[in-house]
Structure 1
Amino acid sequence: MNRSTFFLAITALFATGTSLRADDGIKAVKIKTSAVCEMCKERIERNLAFEKGVKEANLDVAAKVVTIKYNPKKTDVTKLKANIVKTGYDADDVTADPAGYAKLPSCCKKDSKMMNQ
C-alpha cells in the first residue's frame, strides 16, 4: 500500500468515527418553567449542568422554557423535571418543591413580577 492510499484510508476511518459519534443518541426536550428573571436562568442552568447525562441547558426567560440536551442512557425527562422542581421552580405540570421555592430570592418567586409593577 503506498503512502497516499494509507493516509486516505486513515482519514476515511476518522471521518466515519466522527460522524458516528456526532449523534451519540443525544435528545432534546423543552420544559416550561416558572422562571422570571436572569437569576432564575443562572440557577436552573447551573443545577441542570450537575445532573448526570445533561449536555447543555439553555433557559429562555421571556418564554419561560428551558431547552435541555441530554443523554437518554444516563437520565430521562422525569429526572430533569425533578431537578428543576427541587431547585424551586415549576416544570411543565409538576409544581415546585416548597422547600426549594422557599430558598429562592424574592425576585425569583412566581408573583415577584406583580410586586415589582
Structure 2
Amino acid sequence: MKQLTFVFALVLTIVFGAVANKPGKDKEVKIKTSAVCDMCKERIEKNLTLSKGISEAVLNLEDKVVTVKYNPKKTDEAQIRKVITETGYDADNLVCSQTAHDKLPECCQKTSEAHSH
C-alpha cells in the first residue's frame, strides 16, 4: 500500500510539475487607442485586466498604444478591441461606443487635448 501511495504521489508530482513548467502560451497584441490622460490609462488597463483571458495590459500615453498579454484559448484580439471600445475609446480602426464615450469625464473624451491628472 505504501508503494502504491508513493507511486501515485510521484505521478501527480510529475504531471503537475510538467504543467507548471510549460512555457507561457500567452500572446501579445498592440492596439492604438484614443486615450488622452492618466485617468484614461487607468480605466483602460483596469477594464482589460478584469476581462477573461487577459493577464496584463499596459498603456503608453506617449503613443496611445496599449500592449495586452492574453491567453488565446480564453479570448482573442477582436474581444480585446471590443472591451476597449465598450470602455469608451477607439481601438485601432474600431470607433468607440458612443454611449460609453459620452459617459467618460469630459477631459477624457476624444475632443480633449492631452493632459495629465
TM over 0.5: yes
How far residue 19 of structure 1 moved from its aligned partner, in angstroms, is 3.5
1:1-117 paired onto structure 2 within 5 Å: 18-20=20-22, 22-23=23-24, 25-113=25-113
Normalising by structure 2, we get a TM-score of 0.79
Q: Distance in 1 between matches of 2:97 and 2:52?
A: 20
Report SS of the residue matched to 1:112.
Answer: coil
Q: Distance in 2 between matches of 1:107 and 1:71?
A: 33
How far residue 18 of structure 1 moved from its aligned partner, in angstroms, is 4.4
- Aligned-partner residue type, residue 54 of structure 1: I
Q: Which runs of 5+ in 1 are unaligned?
A: 1-12
Q: Distance in 2 between matches of 1:75 and 1:105?
A: 29
- Aligned-partner residue type, residue 21 of structure 2: S
Q: Distance in 1 between matches of 2:85 and 2:94?
A: 7
Give CA-to-partner distance per residue, 1:60-90, whole Å, 9 cap, x none. 0111000000000000000000000000000
- Aligned-partner residue type, residue 58 of structure 2: N
Runs of 4+ off more than 3 Å: 13-19
**What is the aligned residue count?**
102
How far residue 17 of structure 1 moved from its aligned partner, in angstroms, is 5.0
Q: Distance in 2 between matches of 1:103 and 1:38?
A: 17
- Aligned-partner residue type, residue 110 of structure 1: K
Q: Distance in 2 between matches of 1:87 and 1:68?
A: 15
Normalising by structure 1, we get a TM-score of 0.79
Q: Distance in 1 between matches of 2:79 and 2:33?
A: 15
Report SS of the residue matched to 2:46.
Answer: helix
Q: Distance in 1 between matches of 2:79 and 2:19?
A: 31
Kindly report the root-mean-square deviation, in angstroms, between the aligned alpha carbons of the 2 structures: 1.9
Percent of aligned pairs sharing the same letter: 51
